[in-house]
Amino acid sequence: MSWTDERVELLKKMWGEGQSASQIAKELGGVTRNAVIGKVHRLGLSNRATGSAPKTEAKAKPAPKPEAKLKPAPKTEPARPTVVASEAEAKPATPARRQIIPAGQPLPPQPSANEISPEALAKVNEIEKKAKKLSLMELTERTCKWPVGDPATEDFWFCGLPVQAGKPYCEAHVGVAFQPMSARRDRRR
């Protein structure tokens, strides 16, 4: 399909009348909506105010009735500081709020850390003494990708020991990261 002078003039006329690119493409035939949009852009016709009144103005919605005024948005409270364990026990249960903790600040205690068996933690502590301490750029598909430390500090690293088949972590970190379904189900009760 080539853009003949007649087709370009028809495109300009229909575009000025407020026709959509799909309608113009259908009328012209043999051209897609995207081709019409591209030609309109190349011709610099993107401003429809230059033609006659677009059809969309004829279908304008009436102004809202005075009684249908919008209510102002409710005021939001500023973010609360992270709740420590002793305060959490004293207050009634409320939905948890997410809070962004600035880099370099210690993370609040994570609930999952209490649920990991002491044997698994001991194994992880031993393994991390033998870890290769790799940077992100040194990781491969065969190295353990368990992060250790705070990413905002200089002493952040990845385990780097050989991974367990089909897993992203070494044997010790798999024991912490992946828990059997029955153990998770029992914990919820």
- Domain for residue 40, yes or no? yes
pLDDT of residue 51: 46
Residues 116 and 54 in one domain: no
- Domain for residue 83, yes or no? no
- Domain for residue 32, yes or no? yes
- Domain for residue 88, yes or no? no
Domain closes at, from 17, 33, 58: 58
- Domain for residue 69, yes or no? no
Contacts of 17 (CB under 8 A, 6+ apart): 51, 52, 54, 55
| Token pair listed for 83 | 């709740």
| Token pair listed for 157 | 């690293």
pLDDT averaged over 10-residue windows placed end to end, the chain, 189 residues: 88 90 91 91 74 48 56 57 48 57 69 62 81 91 92 91 91 81 59
Would the CA dihedral through 98, 104, 108, 113 be positive or negative? positive
Q: Which of 137, 140, 160, 139 is nearest to 148 (CA)?
A: 160
Domain closes at, from 21, 36, 58: 58
Read off the DSSP letter of residue 143.
Answer: B
| Token pair listed for 183 | 């153990």
Phi/psi of residue 134, each to 5°? -90, 155
**Full domain range(s) for residue 175:** 112-188
Domain closes at, from 40, 58, 76: 58
Whole-structure pTM value: 0.37
pLDDT of residue 90: 47
pLDDT of residue 23: 93
- Domain for residue 23, yes or no? yes
- Domain for residue 99, yes or no? no
pLDDT of residue 110: 55
- Domain for residue 97, yes or no? no
pLDDT of residue 157: 92
Instruction: Tell me the sheet residues that pair with 134.
Output: 158
Residues 184 and 117 in one domain: yes
Q: Which of 150, 172, 171, 146 is nearest to 159 (CA)?
A: 146
| Token pair listed for 27 | 């009328």
Structural domains counted in the chain: 2
